[in-house]
Amino acid sequence: MVVGIGLSSLLHGSAYSQIPLPQAGGETTVHNRTSRAYEQPAPNLDAYWADLHAAGDIAFEAAFVTAPAPVNPGLGPLFNGTSCAGCHLKNGRGMAKQGQRVVRVSHLEATKLDPSDDPGVYAAETPAPGGNAFPVPGLGLQVQEHGVHGFAPEAVVQVTWQEQPGRYGDGTPYTLRSPQIQLYRPDNTPVGDGVLISNRIPQPVFGAGLLEAIAEADILAQADPDERNGDGISGRANRVWDVVQQAPMLGRFGWKANTPTLLQQTAAAYVNDMGVTNPLFPAADGSQDIDQETLTAAAVYVQTLAVPARTLLDDARVQRGERLFAEANCTACHLSTWRTGNHPIPALAEQTIHPYTDLLLHDMGTGLADGRPDFEASGNEWRTPPLWGIGLAQTVLPYSGFLHDGRARTLEEAILWHGGEAELAKETFRTMSAADREALIWFLRSL
């Protein structure tokens, strides 16, 4: 087997070790760069999990309607969207608009609530132990912008876009835009000062199972809360309430890592986003619109989606862009490589993956701040989002936006909004030559 030994030492030799592999999601990777790239089942599922994935696919697509009805009853009475797939379009991000965005609200301190005039406060919206977000009378912790027949939406969300000009180091001008949110009660009175507001777009859902399979200790080992290594970048873990464990757990999901598991993320989406009560979040009288089987299937669906393979690996611009990405220290937060640990779903365990996230919270400066704390996350902090598959975002959904509220229309704008701990990385990008900026963007497009 001389050939075999020769080939393997060539592949693993120093000359080739710098070349990144396309297997972004380990054995869950698919070679698909079409608009359907985020919708593929992981190719390494066994028959049992493939069946559950297929059942979950149906649950994820299912549009709920007002009860009583023969299929999928239980929508509302208050809701934002009617199906998972209606917000996470083709499993990718959604738009910053009514029916897709989620506007979270809170007070910093507890306010006396009158439950009789506050039907919008679901079980998942009541303050969790250790939480620092308190419900707003009439709104709870999340604004449902729709009601079934006979129920008024909790509020009308008015968005105005504010533009601000800037310039690259070489003088080339650009314009950034950010949304200003005003909430109006059903009687048209503006929701008063002192209500903290966070406006969030739906995130891509593929690959989330792999992020759930990373060992907690490995994530905590990346945190540098006291900034000991002096690179200006800290990285803190969120600790959030786990409703199954009835204990605080590491937060991993959502723009502020405010949810510990995909099961809880799914159950909270059912009850808060669609008004669909379920085993984790039953109605006050204990009744449930869906059973455990449906809830589990929907969670397994997002856990077992494939990650699209990288592309253009031998393109010189992409290779240069990848070096610039590292040189600008983007990799300090958008950490390229992880090894997953154990997971009940065998296909997710022991995989080498390239999500480009540290799953930690970072102070991103006042430009991106929403001012609304979420468990340990401050009003300035956001979880580093994974960048895998981001090159396909606008193939999957043309005009889809980037960052937590979809304000960035392009990858360039997303980078230019970085501040706080990422100020230096942003400035490195802003002051690059046009060719270098383009190469860095080509690297992002290859993901």
Q: How far is the CB of 200 from ligand HEC (least distance, A)?
A: 4
Q: How far is the CB of 214 from ligand HEC (least distance, A)?
A: 13
Q: How far is the CB of 333 from ligand HEC (least distance, A)?
A: 3
Q: Which is nearer to Ca ion, 76 or 209 (CB)?
A: 76
Assigned token pair, 179: 């949304």
**20, 25, 138, 140: which one binds Ca ion (CB under 5 A):** 140
Q: How far is the CB of 231 from ligand HEC (least distance, A)?
A: 9
Q: Which is nearer to ligand HEC, 79 or 248 (CB)?
A: 79
The strand pairing partners of 308, in sequence order, are 30
The size of the chain, in residues, is 447
Q: How far is the CB of 120 from ligand HEC (least distance, A)?
A: 14
Return d(Cα 372, Cα 196) in angstroms, integer: 5
Q: Which is nearer to Ca ion, 100 or 144 (CB)?
A: 144
Residues 6 or more apart whose Cβ sits within 8 Å of residue 23: 29, 309, 352, 354
Quick one: what does residue 429 bind among ligand HEC, Ca ion, none, with the CB cut-off 5 to 8 Å set by partner type? Answer: ligand HEC
Quick one: what does residue 74 bind among ligand HEC, Ca ion, none, with the CB cut-off 5 to 8 Å set by partner type? Answer: Ca ion
Q: How far is the CB of 326 from ligand HEC (least distance, A)?
A: 9
Binding of residue 138 to Ca ion (CB under 5 A): no
Binding of residue 120 to Ca ion (CB under 5 A): yes
Return d(Cα 24, Cα 146) in angstroms, integer: 38
Q: How far is the CB of 364 from ligand HEC (least distance, A)?
A: 5
CB atoms within 10 A of CB 225: 13
Quick one: what does residue 106 bind among Ca ion, ligand HEC, none, with the CB cut-off 5 to 8 Å set by partner type? Answer: none
Q: Give contact residues for ligand HEC (rule: CB under 6 A).
A: 60, 80-81, 84, 87-88, 100, 102, 200-203, 205, 208, 233, 253-255, 258, 262, 265-266, 269-270, 273-274, 298, 302, 325, 328-330, 332-334, 362, 364, 368, 382, 384-385, 387, 390, 402-404, 411, 414-415, 418, 421-422, 425, 429, 444
Quick one: what does residue 153 bind among ligand HEC, Ca ion, none, with the CB cut-off 5 to 8 Å set by partner type? Answer: none
CB atoms within 10 A of CB 144: 27
Nearest to 23 by CA among 336, 395, 356, 354: 354
Q: Which is nearer to Ca ion, 216 or 224 (CB)?
A: 224
The strand pairing partners of 157, in sequence order, are 183
Binding of residue 376 to Ca ion (CB under 5 A): no
Binding of residue 135 to Ca ion (CB under 5 A): no
Cis bond leading into 43, ω under 30°?
Answer: no
Q: Which is nearer to ligand HEC, 45 or 295 (CB)?
A: 295
Q: How far is the CB of 139 from Ca ion (least distance, A)?
A: 5
Q: Which is nearer to ligand HEC, 266 or 296 (CB)?
A: 266
Per CB under 5 A, contacts with Ca ion among 238-277 are 275
Q: How far is the CB of 414 from Ca ion (least distance, A)?
A: 22
Q: How far is the CB of 295 from Ca ion (least distance, A)?
A: 14
Q: Which is nearer to Ca ion, 224 or 315 (CB)?
A: 224
Question: Is 181 in contact with 97 (CB distance < 8 Å)?
Answer: no
Binding of residue 145 to Ca ion (CB under 5 A): no
Q: Which is nearer to ligand HEC, 191 or 267 (CB)?
A: 267
Q: Which is nearer to Ca ion, 140 or 401 (CB)?
A: 140
Quick one: what does residue 370 bind among ligand HEC, Ca ion, none, with the CB cut-off 5 to 8 Å set by partner type? Answer: none
Return d(Cα 274, Cα 139) in angstroms, integer: 15
Which x/- pattern over 197-226 shows residues binding Ca ion (rule: CB under 5 A)? ---------------------------x--
Q: Which is nearer to ligand HEC, 268 or 309 (CB)?
A: 268
Question: Is 30 in contact with 22 (CB distance < 8 Å)?
Answer: no
Question: Is 347 in contact with 27 (CB distance < 8 Å)?
Answer: yes
The strand pairing partners of 249, in sequence order, are 240
Residues that bind Ca ion (CB under 5 A): 74, 120, 140, 142, 144, 224, 227, 229, 231, 233, 275, 289
